[in-house]
Amino acid sequence: AQKITQTQPGMFVQEKEAVTLDCTYDTSDPSYGLFWYKQPSSGEMIFLIYQGSYDQQNATEGRYSLNFQKARKSANLVISASQLGDSAMYFCAMREVFRDDKIIFGKGTRLHILP
Amino acid sequence: NAGVTQTPKFRVLKTGQSMTLLCAQDMNHEYMYWYRQDPGMGLRLIHYSVGEGTTAKGEVPDGYNVSRLKKQNFLLGLESAAPSQTSVYFCASSPNSGTGYSTEAFFGQGTRLTVV
């Protein structure tokens, strides 16, 4: 069974609109972390945002926020006021502390921002 | 500051040849990981290490071996390359999640490997 599920292979969004990228996860570990990474066409992996399983507040980093719904096991990435430079592949990832701390990734969502 | 450095950046192998990919990190991280990225498959964990001298299998370990003789280095070996191993390989490192610090993985720039 997939541990990280990203159900949107691709998305097209108009510039300046907000966009939500979906991520659901599956774990029985009480202590885990959730991450989002951006991969532009140049190929590097860029860390965006982190949410710990015990964090009470949703994480925010500039235009990025993580909509963490623990009971639903979802960790959606919200990008406000999208820009052309946001066009990239986005990966959701999870780290399970009691499963060797290994980090597992989803299949990704390719986001296209339209001018 | 170098961070995570992968060597080489590109390589073409013939089927059956062997090679070693080197990953070096200068951040004193305990954890190191090797992933492969294929279209539509995301990043899949090949092997990982939770400290010097330790290695463990990830999601897709077959056909690969690893070694972590020194804390800063994590080597990925292909003993007999196959076309199915054509991929982009990423190395990453991270601190132990128990440190209380940011625990995201820091990535190398990737190695594009083609097996013909």
- For residue A62, the distance in angstroms to the closest alpha carbon of chain B comes to 17
Query: Please, which pLDDT band fits residue B66 given cuts at 50, 70 and 90?
Result: very high
DSSP state of B105: P
pLDDT of residue B92: 97
Q: Map residue A8 onto helix, strand or coil.
A: coil
- Average pLDDT over chain B, rounded to an integer: 93
CB interface of A with B, residues 84-113, below 8 Å: 91, 93, 95, 97, 100-108
pLDDT of residue A101: 82
CB-nearest partner of A102 from B58, B106, B109: B58
Per residue in B68-97, pLDDT (tens digit) is 999 999 999 999 999 999 999 999 999 877
Q: What is the CA radius of gyration of chain B?
A: 14
Strands B87-94 vs B111-115: parallel, antiparallel or unpaired: antiparallel
- For residue B98, the distance in angstroms to the closest alpha carbon of chain A comes to 8
How many angstroms separate the first and last alpha carbons of chain A? 38
Q: What is the mean pLDDT of each run of 10 residues along chain A (115 residues)?
A: 88 97 94 95 96 92 96 97 97 89 93 97
pLDDT of residue B98: 65
pLDDT of residue B99: 55
Contact assessment for residue B110 and residue B7, using Cβ atoms and an 8 Å cutoff:
no
Distance CA B47, CA B91 (A): 10
The answer to whether residue A41 neighbours chain B at the CB level (below 8 Å) is no
Distance CA A11, CA A109 (A): 7
